[in-house]
């Protein structure tokens, strides 16, 4: 039931109808008011309810009566609370915001939102994982959906993208197969939200076109630190079309203002246990505390000439155009500044569709995009249950609209007047507009009607190799480890071997490393390749997360472990430095109430140690005081806090009295590296926070044996 506003001044006051006191809520709706100004509970029909604790019975121990319409209605509605979850991207989290255009792009597109400098267009964005169901964990190794709905003045424009710029398959007809293969196996219904199983790798090992995407999903891109630190990509080549009907090809990129960041796999696994909602909590907390995440929209623009000369087909969604070759141009920013009031109404019911484009944006012949344009309408009807899903506020356009579509289930907005067709003699209703209306780019197409795959789509390994060699040594190690882990979960040896045979076409060292780690006795022969792997593609630094690290701690979180007697001056210096860096902190203590500081002040805690493991933080500070050390060192969670932070290559600050905890956690004096910083006073605390912009101490990683 909607929360009633107390009857006071501006929102309406109190009216008396038939002895019932009524008050107007914020939306103007009337609520019945009980004694003491609490709204009266009603049925959905508005009838006041006298007893919501007991169903209607004959006698205190007798049968329940079917005439209990209140009970019937309440249970009926409850039984129908669920709608089908999305068949893919079921787990997601969304937020409202706006897109702000930097300058007019009229040279390239007539799309209204790009015409005027500084123009703001309302936006709703939904981030998601692909494979897991609605209740699955946030840190699954998976592609992340990055779907943006822009409520433009010429209709809704949905850029339904991912955080990875390429895809598994080249033709939409294979989508059901790849998705069946990655989801839980149909007989046993596990594993959920994981690609580490036979069916997935069976399909992949039989589908060479997936190899480029596989490099991305085995990289740290598939375990992002948060939605705020992810890139988004439209993936396909689209067209911008200007008022003169000239077309420019375009690829859409969303670049996070705070930079890219991912976690380690060992960390991801532990985050899933400690806080399965880690990503949604992060977005909620940031936006609620006024730290609005922001992305820049950048466009890779190119013409037919470039497309004809490029070594890969720009219509092939398993390929990207290196940013060094076509540098993305910043054209605007996307800011998320408001969480939905109701998750179901907005995030669950939002209906994204690739076919939602305004005049001035058009499709290319990418066969995956063409198939998607067909698919998304069906899915909305299935999920939302009516052709009138655009009547739901989150899906309704925010510009004037008028058409003759009518009736159907749950028709909320109904036309008035006589003429429900056009042309009509009554001068009623809207008419089409050749000038303003959407016109497709008049491309000329010809060819035999056949089921074909273009020859120009045949190179499956060269860009996979280019991605791999563009990674830092550490990132390459993570890819090898991820492949080893995933394939170790595959029970059918031939699938493992088949995968290694593909890796041999990508990078021999990688293949050997994974093969050895899997204990393969004999290396297989390289897979038959439609085209040999090109060795001449230069590394593209833009493909590495670490190479383009933000060098800022802004938007990140420090975990500060305190005890009774923690040095107040150091704590306060840390807090101040963190605030200055635009970051946040949480206090972790032996009890959730907190502890007394050295100066007699009280420190409130956010977490007790069991609930605040270090995997939830980007860096940690150990401010344990001497008197508390004996107890602390007995706690396995306190030892894990330190051991994990060290193993995950995080910066660790410690006061002298906390050193024994480091040792107890297995971090000996000879292990203390440049990322372990001793805090003697406020000055060092400040210097420590300045170091945090490096985010991780990657140099430590090769020497670390994970706990
Ligand atoms: Fe989707 N996809 N997809 N997809 N997709 C859906 O639509 C589909 C593809 C993507 O937060 C569904 O409303 C087909 C690529 C996102 O609500 C469905 C094909 C990319 C979301 C569907 C693809 C995406 C979806 C399920 C192969 C990245 C979540 C529920 C041709 C560029 C949107 C829904 C949200 C959702 C179909 C491939 C991104 C079934 C047939 C490639 C981010 O219609």
- Where along the chain do the CATH 2.40.180.10 domains lie? 60-165+220-304+323-391
Distance 135 CA to ligand 1 centre (A): 18
Mean pLDDT value of segment 247-263 = 98
Cβ of 379 below 6 Å from ligand 1:
yes
pLDDT attached to residue 15: 39
In the block, tokens 């969304």 appear at: 94
CA distances from 43 to 33, 64, 189 (A): 14, 19, 39
User: Could you tell me if the CB of 175 is within 6 A of ligand 1?
Assistant: yes
**β partners of residue 375:** none
Binding site membership of 201 for ligand 1 (Cβ less than 6 Å): no
Q: Is 32 in the pocket of ligand 1 (CB under 6 A)?
A: no
Q: How far is the CA of 354 from the centre of ligand 1 (A)?
A: 8
203 CA from centroid of ligand 1 (Å): 19
- Residue 95 Cβ inside 6 Å of ligand 1? The answer reads no
**pLDDT of amino acid 548:** 84
Distance 356 CA to ligand 1 centre (A): 13
Which atom of ligand 1 is found nearest the CA of 127?
Answer: 11
% of residues, the chain, pLDDT over 90 = 93
DSSP 92-110: EEEEEEEEEE-S--TTT--
| pLDDT tens string 27-62 | 566 667 666 789 999 999 999 999 999 999 999 999
What whole-number percentage of the chain has pLDDT above 70?
95
368 lines ligand 1 (CB under 6 A): yes
Task: Name the burial class of residue 494, with classes exposed (0-12), middle (13-18) and buried (19+) by CB atoms within 10 angstroms of its CB.
Answer: exposed
Mean pLDDT of 251-274: 98
Q: Pinpoint the alpha helices (H) of 275-392.
A: 278-288, 304-309, 343, 367-384
Per-residue pLDDT, 538? 96
**Contact yes or no for 262/164 (Cβ under 8 A):** no
2 pLDDT band, cuts 50/70/90, is very low
Total residues found in the chain within this entry:
707
Question: For 279-324, what is each residue's pLDDT tens digit?
Answer: 999 999 999 999 999 999 999 999 999 999 999 999 999 999 999 9
- 109 pLDDT above the threshold of 90: yes
Q: What is the pLDDT of residue 14?
A: 38
Exposed, middle or buried, 542 (CB in 10 Å: 0-12/13-18/19+)? middle
Number of H helices, E strands in the chain: 18, 21
Segment (H or E) for 488: helix 473-488
Over residues 560-575, the pLDDT tens digits come to 999 999 999 999 999 9
- Tokens 């060992």 belong to 266
CB distance 533 to 461 below 8 Å: yes
Say how many Å lie between the CA of residue 401 and the centre of ligand 1.
Answer: 26
Q: What pLDDT, on a 0 to 100 scale, did the predictor assign at position 449?
A: 96
- 581-606 confidence digits (pLDDT tens): 999 999 999 999 999 999 999 999 99
Which CATH topology does 557-703 take?
Rossmann fold (3.40.50)
**Ligand 1 atom closest to Cα of residue 128:** 11
Indicate whether this model's pTM tops 0.85: yes
Whole-number average pLDDT of the chain: 95
Q: Which CATH number fits domain 471-543: 1.20.1370.20, 1.25.40.10, 3.40.50.300, 3.30.160.270?
A: 1.20.1370.20
- Could you read off the pLDDT of 83-108 as tens digits, one per residue? 999 999 999 999 999 999 999 999 99
Ligand 1 center to residue 611 CA distance, Å?
35
Report the relative pairing of strands 120-129 and 92-101 from DSSP bridges: antiparallel
Is the beta carbon of 91 within 6 A of some atom in ligand 1?
Answer: no
CA of 160 to the centre of ligand 1 (A): 7
- Please report the pLDDT score of residue 37 as a whole number: 81
Of the CA atoms within 13 Å of residue 548, those in its CB half-sphere come to 17
The answer, yes or no, to whether any atom of ligand 1 lies below 6 A from the CB of 384, is no
In the chain, ranges of CATH 1.20.1370.20 domains: 471-543
Hey, which residues are catalytic here?
A: 89, 162
Q: Could you tell me if residue 600 is left (phi over 0), alpha (psi between -120 and 50 degrees) or otherwise beta? A: left
* Ligand 1 midpoint to CA 618 (Å): 32
**What pLDDT score does 8 carry?**
37
Establish whether residue 162 lines the binding site of ligand 1, counting it when its CB lies within 6 angstroms of any ligand atom. yes
| Separation between Cα atoms, residue 595 and residue 603, nearest integer Å | 5
CA dihedral 38, 41, 44, 50 (to 10 degrees): -150
Atom of ligand 1 nearest to the CA of 379: 44
Q: For 447-462, what is the mean pLDDT?
A: 97
Nearest CA to ligand 1 atom 29: 89
**Whether the bond into 427 is cis, omega within 30 of 0:** no
With a cut of 50, say whether residue 13 has pLDDT above it.
Answer: no
CATH, domain range 60-165+220-304+323-391: 2.40.180.10
Cβ(238) – ligand 1 distance below 6 Å: no
Contacts of 584 (CB under 8 A, 6+ apart): 289, 291, 556, 557, 558, 578
For the beta carbon of residue 660, count every other beta carbon within 10 angstroms. Answer: 15
Least confident of 382-396, 414-428, 500-514: 414-428
Domain with CATH 3.40.50.880 in the chain: 557-703
For 566, the token pair is 């923690």
Residue 336 has phi, psi (to 5 degrees) of: -105, 115
CA 117 to chain centre: 29
User: Coil, strand, or helix at residue 332?
Assistant: strand
Looking at ligand 1, which atom is closest to the CA of residue 88?
A: 26
> Residue 429: left (phi > 0), alpha (psi -120 to 50), or beta?
left
Q: Which are the contacts of 671, defined by CB distance < 8 A and separation ≥ 6?
A: 646, 703
Residue with CA closest to ligand 1 atom 8: 372
Is residue 497 over pLDDT 70?
Answer: yes
Q: Which atom of ligand 1 is closest in space to residue 87's alpha carbon?
A: 26
> How many CB atoms within 10 Å of residue 64?
12
The pLDDT score that the predictor gives to residue 549 is 87
Mutate which of 84, 87, 89 for ligand 1 pocket (most atoms within 8 A of beta carbon): 89
157: left (phi over 0), alpha (psi -120 to 50) or beta: beta
Atom of ligand 1 nearest to the CA of 171: 31
Euclidean distance between CA atoms 199 and 218, whole angstroms: 17
Q: Is 104 a pocket residue for ligand 1 (Cβ < 6 Å)?
A: no
Alpha carbon distance 31, 6 (integer Å)? 10
């Amino acid at each position: 039931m909607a929360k009633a506003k107390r009857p006071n001044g501006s929102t309406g006051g109190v009216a008396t109808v038939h002895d019932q006191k009524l008050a107007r809520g914020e939306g103007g709706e009337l609520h019945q008011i009980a004694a003491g100004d609490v709204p009266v509970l009603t049925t959905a029909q508005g009838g006041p309810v006298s007893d919501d604790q007991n169903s209607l019975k004959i006698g205190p121990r007798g049968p329940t009566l079917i005439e209990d319409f209140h009970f019937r209605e309440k249970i009926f509605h409850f039984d129908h609370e669920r709608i089908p979850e999305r068949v893919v991207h079921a787990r997601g989290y969304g937020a409202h915001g706006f897109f702000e255009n930097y300058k007019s792009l009229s040279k390239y597109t007539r799309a209204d939102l790009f015409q005027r400098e500084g123009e703001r267009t309302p936006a709703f964005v939904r981030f998601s994982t692909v494979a897991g169901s609605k209740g699955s964990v946030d840190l699954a190794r998976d592609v992340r959906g990055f779907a943006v709905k822009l409520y433009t003045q010429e209709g809704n424009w949905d850029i339904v993208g991912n955080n990875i710029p390429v895809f598994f398959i080249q033709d939409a007809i294979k989508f059901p197969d790849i998705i069946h293969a990655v989801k839980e196996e149909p007989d046993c219904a596990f594993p959920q939200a994981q690609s580490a199983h036979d069916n997935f790798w069976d399909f992949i090992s039989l589908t060479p076109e997936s190899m480029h995407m596989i490099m991305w999903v085995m990289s740290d891109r598939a375990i992002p630190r948060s939605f705020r630190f992810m890139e988004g990509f439209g993936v396909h080549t689209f067209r911008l079309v200007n008022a003169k009907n000239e077309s420019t090809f375009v690829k859409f990129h969303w670049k996070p203002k705070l930079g890219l960041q991912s976690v380690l796999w060992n960390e991801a696994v532990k985050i899933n246990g400690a806080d399965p909602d880690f990503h949604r909590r992060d977005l909620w907390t940031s936006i609620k505390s006024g730290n609005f995440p922001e992305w820049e929209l950048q466009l890779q623009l190119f013409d037919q000439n470039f497309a004809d000369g490029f070594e890969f087909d720009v219509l092939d969604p398993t390929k990207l155009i290196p940013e060094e070759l076509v540098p993305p141009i910043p054209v605007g920013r996307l800011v998320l500044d408001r969480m939905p009031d109701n998750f179901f109404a907005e995030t669950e019911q939002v209906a994204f569709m690739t076919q939602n484009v305004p005049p001035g944006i058009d499709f290319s012949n990418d066969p995956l995009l063409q198939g998607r344009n067909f698919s998304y309408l069906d899915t909305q009807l299935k999920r939302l249950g009516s052709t009138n899903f655009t009547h739901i506020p989150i899906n309704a356009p925010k510009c004037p609209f008028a058409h003759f579509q009518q009736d159907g289930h749950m028709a909320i907005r109904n036309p008035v007047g006589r003429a429900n067709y056009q042309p009509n003699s009554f001068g009623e209703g809207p008419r089409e507009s050749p000038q303003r209306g959407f016109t497709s780019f008049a491309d000329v197409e010809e060819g035999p009607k056949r089921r074909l795959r273009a020859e120009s789509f045949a190179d499956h390994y060269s860009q996979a190799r280019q991605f791999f060699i563009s990674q830092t040594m550490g990132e390459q190690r993570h890819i090898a480890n991820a492949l080893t882990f995933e394939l170790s979960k595959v029970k059918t040896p031939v699938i493992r071997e088949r995968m290694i045979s593909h890796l041999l076409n990508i990078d021999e060292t990688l293949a050997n490393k994974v093969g050895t780690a899997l204990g393969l006795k004999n290396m297989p022969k390289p897979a038959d390749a439609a085209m040999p792997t090109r060795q001449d593609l230069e590394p593209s630094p833009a493909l590495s997360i670490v190479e383009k690290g933000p060098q800022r701690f802004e938007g990140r979180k420090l975990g500060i472990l305190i005890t009774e007697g923690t040095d107040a001056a150091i704590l306060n210096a840390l807090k101040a430095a963190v605030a200055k860096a635009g970051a946040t902190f949480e206090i972790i203590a032996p009890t959730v109430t907190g502890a007394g500081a050295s100066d007699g002040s009280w420190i409130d805690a956010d977490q007790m140690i069991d609930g605040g493991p270090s995997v939830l933080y980007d860096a940690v500070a150990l401010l344990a005081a001497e008197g508390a050390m004996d107890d602390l060192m007995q706690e396995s969670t306190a030892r894990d806090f330190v051991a994990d932070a060290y193993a995950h290559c995080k910066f660790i600050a410690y006061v002298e009295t906390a050193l024994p905890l480091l040792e107890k956690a297995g971090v000996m004096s000879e292990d203390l590296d440049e990322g372990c910083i001793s805090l003697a006073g406020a000055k060092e605390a400040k210097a420590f926070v300045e170091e945090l912009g490096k985010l991780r101490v990657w140099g430590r990683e090769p020497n670390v044996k994970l706990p």
